Structure 1
């Protein structure tokens, strides 16, 4: 941590970092599997793949299916998800207080996700976060999604901050890579949807955090340097 780092904005990945969307995503996957004649899958099998998108979740649940059938299941799943965007989604424990603390310190915060706008924007609205976020960038907002730095830079432009004044928090390697590619500080969210094969300590994040509360602790530590 360099002494001249000045934090202006805290940026979050959405699924698995800011909010726990797993209950809704897994419910919609299982609904789609049932409709297409397949058995439901256990949440613990699918949860680690959520950060990689709905197609990865389907592939993990039914790896032997042909691409056309996987595409049909995906279409059904996403239609159900769009119509039930925040039925069971909740904030991770401590995140409500963390956001309030960030705002109380006069810091901006926002979201950079690979989730598409057709899902991100209704979800943020349902959680009453749209007006509070300084920026909302989805996977199709820019030409390139994470780990490319383009969405990160777009978020900075929306929030009117410099990348070097930001920290990005995510639960997947591509999140940390994206933040680093944009010259941001990065925190790896170990409480998110970590794949058993992942090794977050090798991602190059500035710190590993085990709960949203530790975000506030990390921010507080900046004033000690």
Structure 2
């Protein structure tokens, strides 16, 4: 029985794709990778983070520094960030039903809390931020251990293939949402426990686990 629902932030709760796309292109010359074009987005959405890194031509060693700059630039334009329609209602519904809810994100806690406060949604039991692109499974495992929670009591909700991988590595259930970064096609290939098309479906799906 699920007791805890963990969410990714960017692309799952908050609609940040256009902003991050613009920031990433702005930083391309400084960090030595090619810019992406708008018409390439459908193909980009099919790529895993590692495939995206390889295709861009950026050195893997520069990625942590690039992520730090993206977070800093994001903070400067944070007032433009909105939550996806229906997300607030879904979160409040989960809280009302007694689920603990949390966030694990590679964004900063300051950025996340600012957006949540703007939407009167500081309702999360915990927010863990600053994880690396590929380190979420370690954070999930650490939380399970610290709270003495069994993996079958948790579900992780994300919009990327790496979120599905993180959940599988931590042996928790994975829900993939189709309104974020990766396409439905790409997400399906990674075989999440559930694939959700609309935020209002989340409660029903989670209740069935």
Common fold, TM-score beyond 0.5?
yes
Cα distance in 2 between the residues matched to 1:221 and 1:169: 15
Q: 1:102 to 1:172 in 2, by over 3 A?
A: same
Equivalent in the alignment of 1:80: 73
Higher relative contact order (CA 8 A, sep 6+): 2
* Structure with the bigger percentage of helix: 2
Candidates 125, 129, 132, aligned match of 2:123: 132
Cα distance in 2 between the residues matched to 1:105 and 1:67: 43
Candidates 16, 20, 29, aligned match of 2:15: 20
- Give the TM-score, by structure 1 length: 0.70
Q: 1:65 to 1:121 in 2, by over 3 A?
A: closer
- Give the TM-score, by structure 2 length: 0.74
Cα distance in 1 between the residues matched to 2:179 and 2:22: 20
Cα distance in 1 between the residues matched to 2:131 and 2:20: 19
Cα distance in 1 between the residues matched to 2:152 and 2:67: 38
Cα distance in 2 between the residues matched to 1:65 and 1:208: 31
Equivalent in the alignment of 1:145: 135
Cα distance in 2 between the residues matched to 1:208 and 1:66: 33
Cα distance in 2 between the residues matched to 1:150 and 1:68: 20
Q: 1:159 to 1:193 in 2, by over 3 A?
A: farther
Q: Which runs of 5+ in 1 are unaligned?
A: 1-5
Equivalent in the alignment of 1:212: 199
The Cα of 1:22 is off from its aligned counterpart by 1.2
Equivalent in the alignment of 1:164: 152
Equivalent residues of 2:90, 2:202 under 8 A apart: yes
Equivalent in the alignment of 1:177: 165
Greater C-alpha Rg: 1
Q: 1:199 to 1:30 in 2, by over 3 A?
A: closer
Alignment of structure 1 residues 83-122 onto 2, 5 Å:
83-84=76-77, 86-113=78-105, 115-116=106-107, 119-122=108-111
Equivalent residues of 2:6, 2:102 under 8 A apart: yes
Tell me the SS of whatever aligns to 1:10: strand
Cα distance in 2 between the residues matched to 1:202 and 1:164: 22
Equivalent residues of 2:109, 2:130 under 8 A apart: no
Aligned length: 203
